[in-house]
Amino acid sequence: MDEAKRSNSRRILQSYAVLLSIASVVVLLDEWTQLWVRDNLAFGQSWMPLTWLAPYARLVHWGNEGAAFGLFNGEGIGDFFAVLAIVVTALILYYFPKLDTGGWMLRFAFGLQLGGALGNLIDRLTIGYVTDFISVGRFAVFNIADAGITVGAGLLLLFTWLHRDDEEEAVVEEGERSADASVL
């Protein structure tokens, strides 16, 4: 194996190490917090550790068979979301090493999304539903995995928006070079 192939293999392994580290943190936080909630709060019970936050934020033990933030809960399509999580995981693992190495925001976004997908998948496969517990205002109850998926999607959109201008400039520069070359 020549040096270029070794360097590429090292880059891919380092890339996966970053991805799996970020995803592992999300999964571990998600599983630990849900275990704490299941062990300390009865189903439907809420707890407000900081009373001054009471009207705005609390912990509540809730179950969700649907998508993030309680979407499609009770619709009986939990298996669909389990399969979707497997497909998303496979796509992230396949495409991740192909990402541009300069896109740290993109890599972080995919790590958060992978961790969220795996965290919710673990719950669906082990207990049949996802334990949600974070309640903020009148917003739907969610968990750490849902937050990872959502923040990851937000970062992905932000990355796309920030780099849209770079792509447009590259197309314009390529067009200018082609025009200059045709004049010569």
Q: Specify the higher pLDDT residue, 178 or 7.
A: 7
Check: CB of residue 99 under 8 Å from CB of residue 106.
yes
- What are the residues whose beta carbons fall under 8 Å from the beta carbon of 108, sequence distance 6 or more? 22, 152, 155
The Cα 11–Cα 100 span in angstroms is: 11
77, pLDDT greater than 70: no
According to the model, what pLDDT value does residue 118 have?
A: 96
Domain that residue 86 falls in: 3-183
- Tell me which of 39, 146, 165, 180 is the catalytic residue: 146
Please report how the helices 144-183 and 3-40 are oriented relative to each other, as an axis angle in degrees rounded to 10.
150
According to the model, what pLDDT value does residue 98 have?
A: 79
The Cα 154–Cα 152 span in angstroms is: 5
Q: How many CA atoms lie within 13 A of 89 on its CB side?
A: 16
Per mean pLDDT, which range of 61-70, 155-164, 170-179 is the poorest? 170-179
Q: What is the pTM of this model?
A: 0.78
According to the model, what pLDDT value does residue 103 have?
A: 74
Nearest Cα residue to 136 out of 123, 124, 122, 146? 146
Q: Specify the higher pLDDT residue, 167 or 145.
A: 145
156, pLDDT greater than 80: yes
- Of all residues in the chain, the percent with pLDDT exceeding 90 is 39
Nearest Cα residue to 11 out of 89, 102, 91? 102
Check: CB of residue 66 under 8 Å from CB of residue 78.
yes
Q: Specify the higher pLDDT residue, 36 or 65.
A: 36
129, pLDDT greater than 60: yes
- Tell me which of 39, 132, 165, 180 is the catalytic residue: 132
- What are the residues whose beta carbons fall under 8 Å from the beta carbon of 17, sequence distance 6 or more? none
Instruction: Please measure the distance between the N-terminal and C-terminal CA atoms of the chain and give it in whole angstroms.
Output: 43
- Averaged pLDDT score across all residues of the chain: 82
CA 156 to chain centre: 10
Q: How many CA atoms lie within 13 A of 184 on its CB side?
A: 5
Looking at the structure of the chain, the number of domains it has is 1
According to the model, what pLDDT value does residue 113 have?
A: 95
According to the model, what pLDDT value does residue 30 have?
A: 97
Cα 46 to Cα 27, 42, 153: the distances in Å are 23, 8, 29
Catalytic residue check, 79 = no
122, pLDDT greater than 90: yes
